[in-house]
Structure 1
């Protein structure tokens, strides 16, 4: 199966997805809704440092890079998905902007600096996104200016201590939740 990048410099370019049932690529309509939600808040993706966690084929990260993000850390542990991800990086000639980490999101270490945007599309109904975000907050990946997108099943309502919901939208079988760091209590 292949997906198309929706907008930006790689608009309409195909990216491959891994075969099998292990990876569930984000549907075009869901990606379109997500990036519309982000664009209305960020204004532009130009120069952003981002991460695509539970990356699969990298569709979310490539969409952000296509729209001008400066760099993307892709984190994925499934071997078939990593092969698809590396193939897509090669086909798009995006190596200089990409950092692939073939590991579990939960084994990431401390961040050098908070990222501008973190995109998470974990397996549905597992709570993996909440667990990952809790850990990433403690490790410095999330700062006051960081935007976070968490995709879950439409009936999951994420709640992560220290983060507050900025927007929430159901799209088909998916729920997109945009999160920010909660302001420190006075």
Structure 2
């Protein structure tokens, strides 16, 4: 895995190979991440990255949030309760030297603490097929993590419907991965 573009372009991230099922690590491939960020930078959603506060739920290795940081996000909060994920994420943060622009919360993404600052961009990449994405999204909304009109990028094994308080903007399929783009409503 590597950072695709921006300030940290080409920098290698700690590898987990094809993943670690025991640790529920299934990293977004470079190809899917590149396509996703091309969509985000394509103007359809405005400019959701530049200067944004980003929330990366079920962060795993942190590749999505770190890519956003590389491309101009102001701050990223990573949420993951996995020991292996936490170790890899801390290693990736150290490798990129971006500790002052991130916060790592070692916690279950469905049991969030209250937010310090609402986020304009949210990456949601739960373990596939376990129904955790909707729970985490509701909890993030209840705890003040999601700004009005925030863009939610939800990665799953199948297309997702927008829960109450959100509007579905688009869906894209990349092999066995579906990305659903949602917008938070007031």
Q: Is the 8 A contact 2:162 2:182 kept in 1?
A: no
Task: List runs of 5+ in structure 2 lacking aligned partners.
Answer: none
Q: Is the 8 A contact 1:119 1:150 kept in 2?
A: yes
CA distance in 1, matches of 2:28, 2:146: 23
Q: TM-score, normalised by structure 1?
A: 0.91
Question: Which of 21, 35, 43 is matched with 2:37 structurally?
Answer: 35
Question: Which of 163, 166, 169 is matched with 1:166 structurally?
Answer: 169
CA distance in 1, matches of 2:96, 2:141: 31
CA distance in 1, matches of 2:10, 2:47: 22
Bigger mean CA offset, 44-53 vs 83-92: 44-53
1:181 aligns with 2:168: no
Cross-structure match for 2:12: 14
Compute the displacement of 1:44 (Å): 5.8
- Report the 3-state secondary structure (helix = DSSP H, G, I; strand = E; otherwise coil) of the residue aligned with 2:93: helix
Cross-structure match for 2:153: 149
Compute the displacement of 1:104 (Å): 0.7
Deviations 1:113-137 (A, max 9, x none): 3211010111011111111111212
Deviations 1:6-42 (A, max 9, x none): 1101111110134632200001121112112222213
Q: Is the 8 A contact 1:17 1:25 kept in 2?
A: no
Q: Is the 8 A contact 1:149 1:178 kept in 2?
A: yes
CA distance in 2, matches of 1:136, 1:147: 13
CA distance in 2, matches of 1:51, 1:142: 8
Cross-structure match for 2:85: 81
Deviations 1:99-118 (A, max 9, x none): 00111112212223321101
Runs of 4+ in 1 over 6 A off after TM superposition: none
CA distance in 2, matches of 1:45, 1:77: 25
- Report the 3-state secondary structure (helix = DSSP H, G, I; strand = E; otherwise coil) of the residue aligned with 2:161: coil
1:50 aligns with 2:54: yes
Q: TM-score, normalised by structure 2?
A: 0.91
Backbone CA RMSD of aligned residues: 1.5
- Report the 3-state secondary structure (helix = DSSP H, G, I; strand = E; otherwise coil) of the residue aligned with 2:5: coil
